[in-house]
Structure 1
Amino acid sequence: MSTAVLVSCHGTVSRTEDIPAFLNNIRRGRPTPPELVAEVTHRFKAIGGSPLMAVTEAQARALEARIGIPVVVSGRLWHPYPSEVLPGIVAKGVRTLLSLPLAPQSVDVYHGPVREAAANHPELTVRTAPAWGMEPALIDAFVETIDEALAAVPAEERATVPIVLSAHSLPRRVIAMGDKYEVQFRAMAGAVAARLEARGLSTRIAFQSQGASAEPWLGPDLAETFAGLAEKGAQSVLVAPIGFLAEHVETLYDLDIEAPQIAAKAGIGRFYRAKAVCDRPRFIDALEAVVRRELDR
């Protein structure tokens, strides 16, 4: 065994008592207000805990079965960190590691911790996957999830329900500093929208789950988007969280619990939601295509 793949996700806690430390990581060590800890704890409890790491592990196992080489998992902001994963695979003989973020945009923020951890293992060569949001199989997987959600929409409104393609928001200062997240997400969303609009469906882009800081964040947010749709007469909406590759608190709470209330307040009474791609076969096709292309170079 000389080659392996490291898939990394944002990371999450399995115990609510770890939420304060997790939030401190997200906030780069800035003190976390007690009310924010309480709110995040409430959200985790409301959904029964985040399934993010379990989904990530399932994605890794499905990819491993496809490519026939080891696939290991790490988190960017919570255990297992790359520094905790690399010693074990190096001890097993891995000498080439492909870093594959389970986020199609802003991949360098995931590669950074992997490179830092690899600096302690000079025998290990790290290769890094570029942004992969335009991978054809990924676009296919998103469209699959949207079509499955549309099947739950009553036939009489299926052709007219607005489809909101959502992603996690970021502070605008991050974008101003050169992060390509917004440009890359909008390109990916545009590819999904083109497929849907060719069938006469209507799409919008929105940014959700912004942080607690008072600074400007990417928009429009869901409230603004829903209000705009309601002004144009929409009575239903379908949100497709294509910015998220696994179910976790930003989908299970922010969309399944909070977003229907925001929509109702705007005057939209019927709310539908596409599922995250998780480990569906077409999504694993996308991961496999990225891995094979990068390892063949």
Structure 2
Amino acid sequence: MSQLIHPLSLASQANTNFIGSKAAALGELKRAGLNVPNGFVVTTYAYPDFIAPLQEKIRARLTDDVIMDPAELEGSATEIREWIQAQPLPDSLRAELASALETLDNAERASLIARSSPASDDLATSFGAGVARAYLGLVGIDEIERAIARSWSALWNSRAMYYRWRKKIAQTEPAFAVLVQPMIRADSAGVLYTQHPMSGDPDEMQIKSVFGLSVPITSARFRPDEFVFDKSKNEITDRDIADQTVKLMVGTDGHVEEQVISETEVEAPSLNDAQVGELAALGQQIEKFFNAPQDIEWAIVDDKIFVLQARPMGMRNS
């Protein structure tokens, strides 16, 4: 097995240190039989060879005087991110990336998503909001390569750089893994909290959903439909249906595009009651599996639920 790329089907919490917590949790759920999209992880072992050609240039740019001056540090951070985003992947990594893509079928390769997978969620939080990134609707190895470089460049924001300097951590040491999976061409998608995030009631679950991809929810761009499900009563106890007029979908070319919601969809919620019940049951299953309240991202295609992410509640940083 390559150290640079790790199949998601073999991912587990035992190898969180090099595949990251996001990939580890999904790997555990996939091996437990839940519907998790296929994929692979570009591990943290791939980062040192990628950043090595820039190390001296970065070291020369980041003097103590620069780091201690907020304006200088911000300018340096922008410049370093540009260097990293323009840096090609090492030939060995690109070759293994090409091989990993071949393990996916043609439909899966048609549109992909790359997401940062930090070794721990508090690592991402310590380095500032926006470090953990997702790049959607990627087509072909060149777009995947740029998304991997952009994911790693996110480590070089001014807050993260100052944090490493203050904690005496080598600037080029921290690394995220990058999880690559097929895009799910969702009819609806959203987030599920197995414990109500506002009231803290462990018997109440909150589900937020939109038509199409769930990006509008995580970016707070649109107001989603919201449902409250009571575990003990096994029923929906509250709902708030939003006026949704547009949705994000995977287009015929594999890229993400905005589409107008049809008249039929405008007049209906993005989830029916049966789907809410199925999501609630799935949420309780995942909560029991990890023995902790969970923040779950999901998508539905033809009434089949896919799990896109599961993490302990309170760890969302984007």
Question: Normalising by structure 2, what TM-score?
Answer: 0.25
Q: By percentage of residues, which structure has more strand?
A: 2
User: Whose RCO is larger (CA < 8 A, sep 6+)?
Assistant: 1
